[in-house]
Amino acid sequence: MTAGQGSGGERKYQRIANELKAAITAGEYRPGDRLPGENELMTTYQVARMTARQALSVLQSEGIAEARKGAGVFVRTFRPLRRRGIQRLAQSQWGAGRSVWSADLDEDRELVVDSIAVTEKEAPSHIAAVLGLGSSDRACTRSRRFVLDGKPVLLSTSYFSASLVAGSAITQEDSGAGGVYARLAELGHAPARFREEIRSRMPSATEAQDLRLPGGTPVFLVCRTAFTEDGTAVEVNEMVLDAGSYILEYEFHA
């Protein structure tokens, strides 16, 4: 058995972190409660300070706890947002004038856009290929940051063929009821099928700053493409999600 390793092959700091997580799940520590500090963990588990510190770092990196300077480590009060990947894109959602984002929210929570930029520019090559843009074609882009309960949780950039959406509300900051999918339908290019690709990685420095991520917090990358009935791609939306703020839910019939 190596130093710092438990009898079952589990690292000591992992065992401590797992026991703290179990206590949080059981309600022994509620949102906002202070967790045992390094000194307390050292005494309780008879471990070195570094081991205790690593255990608390695990909870912070997983978004379960947050450190408050000079006060200790506390159970995070922020509740993850359940992103309902199927329901939110249903035509019955945006076709009725509702935002796709509203499908994710409980009544007592508010998701707002605190910054938006709409521009026309050359699309990245991988986006241009999906949208079928030529070398002289431009893309209309909509970049937004979404804030939930006062915390930035999502960065989103949508790409459209500029010629396809010219003159429509898609080129304005406020795209109107039902959002861009309702506007595409009005233009005769209603989305009939969506494809989402999801992966995860560590954030760039800019992403970490814009999402106010604590060190060690990964992000989800979600790339969604909207297709018309004839298979034409009319939107590519690249999203960066704070992985500690989201639960990705997909419910569908067998």
Each residue of 226-246: pLDDT tens digit?
999 999 999 999 999 998 888
pLDDT at 173: 95
| Whether the predicted pLDDT of 163 surpasses 50 | yes
State the sign of the Cα–Cα–Cα–Cα dihedral 213, 215, 218, 223: positive
Identify the pLDDT of residue 86: 81
Q: What is the mean pLDDT of residues 142-160?
A: 94
pLDDT digits (tens, 9 = 90+) for 205-228: 999 999 998 777 899 999 999 999
* Residues found in the chain: 254
pLDDT of residue 140: 98
Q: What is the pLDDT of residues 130-146, one digit of tens each?
A: 999 999 999 999 999 99
This model's pTM is above 0.85:
no
Name the pLDDT band for 91 (thresholds 50, 70, 90): confident
The dihedral over CA atoms of 174, 175, 176, 179, expressed in degrees to the nearest 10, equals: -130
Asked whether residue 64 carries a pLDDT value surpassing 60, the answer given is yes
**219 is written with which tokens?**
């992000």
User: Quick one: pLDDT band at residue 2, thresholds 50, 70, 90?
Assistant: very low
- Determine contact, residues 62/107, Cβ cutoff 8 Å: no
Q: Please, are residues 58 and 35 in contact by the beta-carbon 8 Å criterion?
A: no
**Fold that domain 81-249 belongs to in CATH:** Chorismate lyase (3.40.1410)
Domains 12-75 and 81-249 share a fold: no
In CATH, which of 3.40.50.410, 3.40.50.1000, 1.10.10.10, 3.40.50.300 is domain 12-75?
Answer: 1.10.10.10
What band does 110 get if pLDDT is binned at 50, 70 and 90?
Answer: confident
Predicted confidence at residue 1, as pLDDT, reads 36
* Residue-range domain boundaries for the chain: 12-75, 81-249
pLDDT of 5: 57
Where do the H-state alpha helices sit in 188-230? 205-211
Q: Is the pLDDT at 20 greater than 70, yes or no? A: yes
Q: Which residue has the higher pLDDT, 3 or 107?
A: 107
What confidence tier does 124 reach under pLDDT thresholds 50, 70, 90?
A: very high
